[in-house]
Structure 1
Amino acid sequence: MSSPPKPFGTVVSNVGVNLRQYPSTDSSVVGNLSHGTEVGLHSKVHAQTIDGNSIWYLLRDEGVWVAARHVDNTGEVPLSKDVEPDAPQG
């Protein structure tokens, strides 16, 4: 199995990482990725700090967030300046 196109991330936490609706541990858990899983990364934001790391990644294909503390990235992940989690949908 080949790696996704860059930028992508590899889960480095031994217990995996939760997928969240928004970039915060207060947000709903919508899934989980296992250690070693590779996923495409769309963009990053500065949000809640986890173990000294305030970056969260938006996944390319799923529209959910992971804490960068638990994911090593490959390639340049663009900073998103206009993420508005409370914006009305539609």
Structure 2
Amino acid sequence: MPSLPQPFGTVVSAIGVNLRKYPSTDSAVVGNLSHGTEVGLHSKVHAQPVDGNSIWYLLRDQAAWVAARHVDNTGEVPLSKDVEPAAPQG
């Protein structure tokens, strides 16, 4: 039984995945997730392809992006243009 509300993702890459400041492999690494980690997903964009997959997910609880190539999603992840921007954290 999933522990997170949908949509969420599960890291499927055996070596884990880097979290990026922007949806690009050229962007700064701001963290990483291990194989099997579940993480809440806020929205998605089409950006730099990773192994042919151009979708990147914005995490729900932090300002970080993860390549969808390394994450299996559960639930419908809306496009970022269809989502209200998050309130500034202060």
Q: TM-score range by the shorter chain?
A: 0.7 to 0.9
The aligned residue for residue 81 of structure 1 is: 81
| 1:57 alignment partner, SS class | strand
Alignment-mate amino acid for residue 20 of structure 2: R
| 1:23 alignment partner, SS class | coil
Q: Which runs of 4+ in 1 moved over 2 A?
A: none
Unaligned runs of 5+ in 1: 83-90
Instruction: State the TM-score, normalized to the length of structure 1.
Output: 0.87
Aligned pairs for 1:4-23 within 5 A: 4-23=4-23
Alignment-mate amino acid for residue 3 of structure 2: S
In the alignment of these two chains, the number of paired residues is: 83
Identity %: 85
Deviation at 1:17, TM superposition (A): 0.3
Question: Equivalents in 2 of 1:31, 1:16: separation in Å?
Answer: 11
Question: Equivalents in 1 of 2:62, 2:77: separation in Å?
Answer: 16
Deviation at 1:9, TM superposition (A): 0.1
Question: Equivalents in 2 of 1:7, 1:78: separation in Å?
Answer: 9
Instruction: State the TM-score, normalized to the length of structure 2.
Output: 0.87
Alignment-mate amino acid for residue 10 of structure 2: T
| 2:69 alignment partner, SS class | helix
Deviation at 1:46, TM superposition (A): 0.1
The aligned residue for residue 34 of structure 1 is: 34
RMSD: 1.7
Question: Equivalents in 2 of 1:36, 1:3: separation in Å?
Answer: 13
Deviation at 1:63, TM superposition (A): 1.4
